[in-house]
Amino acid sequence: MNNNRRPTLYDVATQAGVSPSLVSLFLKDPERISEKRRNAVRDAITELGYRPSRAATTLASSSTKSIGLVIDDYRNPWFVDLLRGMESVLSNLGYQVMLADSRPGENRIKEATDGLLAMHVDALVIAAEPSDAMLAKTWVPTVVAGWRKGVPLGADLITNDDDGGGSMAANHLLGLGHVRIGHVSGSDGASAHRRAGYRRAVEAAGVEPFISESSGTSEEDGYETASRLLERHPDTTAIFAANDSMALGAFAAIKARGLAVPADVSVIGYDNSPLAKSRFLDLTSIDNRSDIVGADSARRLLARIADPTLEPERTLIEPKLALRGTTAPPR
């Protein structure tokens, strides 16, 4: 074989001393082939470094064995666990996840989704705010992961109980003795639910809620919103951030005022992302179980692919408190 070109199925057949149709059968269902021939084909594939053509497989089947995932910001680390959860279910079944980053903006989200659909993905996971055009109808099985402002008609919703998680964060700080608890929040659907849970918990405890909102939920948004909050309420002793990235920005705002975490201001984030788990940050955070959201999203899509008549469902995943070193009783 010419070493300057990619090995083909025919090269594998020649190397193994079998027919091309038998190699094709091996790739689809190896158990239907005798052990001797199966070993010969496997050895040839290994020796030649052969990789099956996904395009050829797609042409021979109505399925591309791919799931599209639309996210709204690569910088938000909670997508890492979401993707890992999806792949824990899909990879062993031969599916791949195709990722598209839409960034905020209705046109960008639609473009990202249209791009995945143009590649004939079998199903979609939307981990971003759907555009108005997407709300009308989905043409492939679709799961919305996480609370959004809208869910497309016919799509499943699988999400963390963000209302409960917001209350959990506030109750943790209240239990430590804090009564001056601020909240830095975003404008997306998940932030709205976390904000509602926080407000409900502090008001039930007879504590005044004070909230600083931003259009985004990045580290920079966290810094700006926390700075405004601390300027308006300098006696704040605890901050609940809508996600871990915003919590990191809150850290910087607290430090800029010559204060320390948690000695002067306790900080709790949300998502329990890899950022929160880092030994350097050691951030107390609400675990939104995004790996479970991802795994359940994958299972639901596989069920919808197998039976397109299934009715859409809404599933809430219970959050957990991940207690670390950034929260303490007030001084």
Per-residue pLDDT of the chain (331 residues; tens, 9 = 90+): 555 677 888 888 999 999 988 888 888 778 888 999 999 999 998 888 887 765 555 544 567 789 999 888 777 778 889 999 999 999 888 899 998 877 655 567 778 888 888 888 899 999 887 776 666 666 789 999 988 877 888 889 999 999 999 999 999 999 999 999 999 999 888 999 999 999 999 999 999 999 999 988 999 999 999 999 999 999 999 999 999 999 999 999 999 999 999 999 999 999 999 899 999 999 999 999 999 999 999 999 999 999 989 999 999 999 999 999 999 999 8
- In a 10 Å sphere around its CB, with 0-12 CB exposed, 13-18 middle and 19+ buried, how is residue 132 labelled? exposed
Name beta bridge partners: 118. Answer: none
CA-to-CA dists, residue 219 to 155, 215, 225, angstroms:
31, 12, 10
**From CA 84, how far away is CA 81, in angstroms rounded?**
5
Task: Give 210-264 pLDDT, tens digit per residue.
Answer: 999 998 899 999 999 999 999 999 999 999 999 999 999 999 999 999 999 999 9
Q: Which runs of E-coded beta strand occur in 129-261? A: 142-145, 156-160, 181-185, 210-213, 238-241
Long-range contacts of 85-89 (CB under 8 A, 24+ apart): 85/290, 85/291, 85/292, 85/293, 85/294, 85/295, 85/296, 85/297, 85/298, 86/125, 86/294, 86/295, 86/297, 86/298, 87/294, 87/298, 88/291, 88/294, 88/295, 88/298, 89/295, 89/298, 89/299, 89/302
Task: Give 60-79 pLDDT, tens digit per residue.
Answer: 456 778 999 988 877 777 88
User: What domains are defined for the chain?
Assistant: 9-52 (no CATH), 66-161+290-318 (3.40.50.2300), 162-288 (3.40.50.2300)
Q: Which of 117, 183, 109, 192 is nearest to 148 (CA)?
A: 192
**From CA 158, how far away is CA 139, in angstroms rounded?**
19
Confidence (pLDDT) at 59: 46
pTM for the model stands at 0.75
